[in-house]
Structure 1
């Protein structure tokens, strides 16, 4: 069996494109960076910890069962941008991203009882200039409130994006190519274990 340790409907929809069957499992963790923890290490740690928490919540786990954990962060000038606390926070974040390039990092971790397969995908996103009025209107739409960096590229904020350099699906929340490659590796390892056990 294959499990997704995520409540995100965006990740669930993306995963359906590459995985025929999977079940959801809860994975609540403390999503706070360590002091001086660099962004790439933080997002990878979050993905692994989500997968590990999900694995603990699987009632009956078999050696061939795998859990996928994923985390996405927005990084501007090496600063990690979380979800906005209020409108002022959103205004500060999006003003800082206006007319600039920033990075969106998504980490994926596919684990079982013995193995951790993981990768971090970094995509550059370039915003056009955004006015304070546009940011206020966007905030009032309700979309930014639960989004890292105060925006969702797949929604109304798509009009702010001049271009991206990298994986679009990664910016949405799950890099499809890289995730499929990890799942294929996991499947091959499970098949190998099954064959060895049958000897």
Structure 2
């Protein structure tokens, strides 16, 4: 089967690139320059959807994608613990604080996804519950030394050394990495993306 239209991924994330490749898609990347300031009053679901939609809006405003013939996907992933949104830490100290908050707790990872193109205009979010083991100061120091915290929502990567801290998850593993593949695949199949 071949895809019937061009696919555009509005993300610079190598993790998202890899996930899209897992679906066997041929795609090009357009990076959004959206303002990712978070609305502290929004619900977690609304917040990640708004961020994904803002990325889409910025890309379309710059006329880099023609959604009359191309399918554009944008996404944003955040970690929420005790109602607080944890984005990408800006320093090792902030990553340390994030990991301390996640230690021995359940947190939620939400990804908002916006898809727009021929036959599709969807905005949704997916939630995964992630359960961390108790982390000692040595565990956190060891992880920070790996450098994986850089650019990672919540300060860890489930597809890397961060998986050593996770006792179990409830929901989509790929959602924690950066894209809920089951839902995206379902939407693509529903519009006969492959023929």
* TM-score when normalising by structure 1: 0.87
Paired residues for 1:122-137 under 5 Å: 122-137=127-142
Q: 1:120 to 1:64 in 2, by over 3 A?
A: same
Match of 1:173 in 2: 178
Match of 2:3 in 1: none
Q: Say whether 1:163 aligns with 2:164.
A: no
Q: Say whether 1:83 aligns with 2:64.
A: no
Considering only CA atoms, is the larger Rg found in Structure 1 or Structure 2?
1
Q: 1:12 to 1:70 in 2, by over 3 A?
A: same
Runs of 4+ aligned structure 1 residues displaced above 6 Å come to none
Match of 2:36 in 1: 31
Checking the alignment, whether the CA contact within 8 Å between 2:111 and 2:179 is kept in structure 1 is yes
Aligned residue-pair number: 189
Taking the aligned partners of 2:119 and 2:56, their CA distance within structure 1 comes to 13
Higher share of residues assigned helix:
1
Deviates more, 1:49-58 or 1:146-155: 49-58
Which string of whole-angstrom CA distances, capped at 9 and with x for unpartnered residues, describes residues 35-78 of structure 1? 41222111001111212223334546251321000111000011
* TM-score when normalising by structure 2: 0.89
Structure 2 stretches of 5 or more lacking a match?
1-5
Taking the aligned partners of 1:60 and 1:91, their CA distance within structure 2 comes to 39
Where 2:125 maps in the other structure, the secondary structure is: strand
Structure 1 stretches of 5 or more lacking a match?
192-199
Deviates more, 1:157-166 or 1:40-49: 40-49
